[in-house]
Amino acid sequence: MTTLLKMPALLKRDDLAGLGTGVDEGQARLELRRQIGRLEGELSQLFGEAFGHTEVPHRIEAISVAPRVLDLGELEAVRDRLADRIAEARQALVERRRLENGNRELVERMLAAPQDFKWVRVSRQDLGLKGCGHWHSRPRLGPIGMLMGWWRVKVSSGCPLFGRLAAVDHQVQTSFRT
């Protein structure tokens, strides 16, 4: 009943104070700052989670060139842009996970039937795994295997060791001396 009585007044935007809905802008700004803090935390987590797997949009242009107290509209703009970035980052992560799951299934199918995936190569990064290495469908015994249809998935042995690089350096230095 109260609401119905106030309906005509609602149409006049300037009369909001008369409806007992006086807006405390200071409180609104504090609330927006709290929301910005929470969203910044979420975006930071997503950024950390995605780093090394996929790029997530996390940049938000500065509202001001110098530090100052932002007004309600500017705080809302920061809050909304953060929310947009979070949505985009989540979407990017979901798409990346879908791709990685697809690659994982592909590796399983490759291992089951290597001859159906000739020369296909999937890296650990494609599966969202750390380190070097890949699965590569190759023929046994080179050209003979190709002719005979003897295919297998070869798993590489990982990252090159530091010792190998040191040995190469040593070889280079020795060749300079000689």
Spatial distance between the Cα atoms of 156 and 150, rounded to a whole number of angstroms? 19
Q: How far is the CB of 47 from another protein (least distance, A)?
A: 7
Residues binding another protein (CB under 8 A): 26, 29-30, 33, 36-37, 40-41, 44-45, 47-48, 51, 58-64, 66-70, 74-75, 78, 82
Q: How far is the CB of 4 from another protein (least distance, A)?
A: 38
Spatial distance between the Cα atoms of 82 and 57, rounded to a whole number of angstroms? 10
Q: Of 81 and 121, which CB lies nearer to another protein in the complex structure?
A: 81
Q: How far is the CB of 64 from another protein (least distance, A)?
A: 3
Q: How far is the CB of 29 from another protein (least distance, A)?
A: 7
Q: Of 32 and 107, which CB lies nearer to another protein in the complex structure?
A: 32
Q: Pairing relation of β-strands 134-139 and 151-155?
A: antiparallel
Spatial distance between the Cα atoms of 151 and 103, rounded to a whole number of angstroms? 19
CA neighbor of 46 nearest in space, from 94, 103, 78: 94
Q: Which residue has the tokens 């500017």?
A: 74
Q: Of 44 and 101, which CB lies nearer to another protein in the complex structure?
A: 44
